[in-house]
Amino acid sequence: MSRLPIAILISGRGTNMRVVAERAAGGSLPVDVRVVVSDQPAAEGLKTAAAMNITTRVLEPREFADRPTYDRALVQLIEQYQPKLIVLAGFMRILTPHFLGAFAGRILNVHPSLLPKYRGLHTHRRALEARDTVHGVSVHFVTEELDGGPVVLQAEVPVLPGDSEQTLSARVQQAEHRIYPQAIDWFARGRLLLQDGRAWLDGKPLDAPVREPSQAAGG
């Protein structure tokens, strides 16, 4: 099958970007990573992408008067690479309606919680403070509601006695690296789409996200 052209947006280490790019290069994920874009020139993930011979671009917010102006420039930059899917991989900016409209139904994000719990930041800290026994990660379509777009796929992650934010984060990241490529694969193969404000998988609306049950630590 032909490979779906994608653009990946990062702000930091880009570990999910790396996993997606590695699987694409290895042939197990039918996508073509056309460009990796960051709002942070020092983002470590840019070096990772460059080492994999992926085109990288930087667009710094400080060079623009406001968020709408930045997002218009971001749209123009990304459209040069004609992606069919935008993959947000730790891109730490709230996107404007202009950006979301330009790529409507074609933006996926991975969020480190079992949405709708813990939208926004500091999800691991909040899960620990709430004494949750199960935490997790969600892949969702991006809409104007922050972390509120239709959720496609989730993985549960156990919260273990003695967990810190760092140990819990590491376990959640392992789950991210499993399920984000899976959701991207579904989209690339035409199995997943956003229609009428709902996620559809294999021709049926998802009344609830596909849920991967909790795995043992290290799994």
d(CA 167, CA 14): 18
**Three-state SS at 177:** helix
Residue 124 annotated as catalytic = no
Tell whether the torsion through CA atoms of 12, 3, 107 and 59 is positive or negative: positive
Q: Is there a contact between 50 and 18 (Cβ–Cβ < 8 Å)?
A: no
* φ, ψ for residue 26, nearest 5 deg: -80, -10
Q: Which residue is catalytic, options 111, 124, 135, 140? A: 111
Task: Please give the full DSSP string across 29-51, using - where no structure is assigned.
Answer: S-EEEEEEEES-TT-HHHHHHHH
Of 200, 28, 19, the residue nearest 110 (C-alpha): 19
d(CA 16, CA 22): 10
Which residue numbers are catalytic? 111
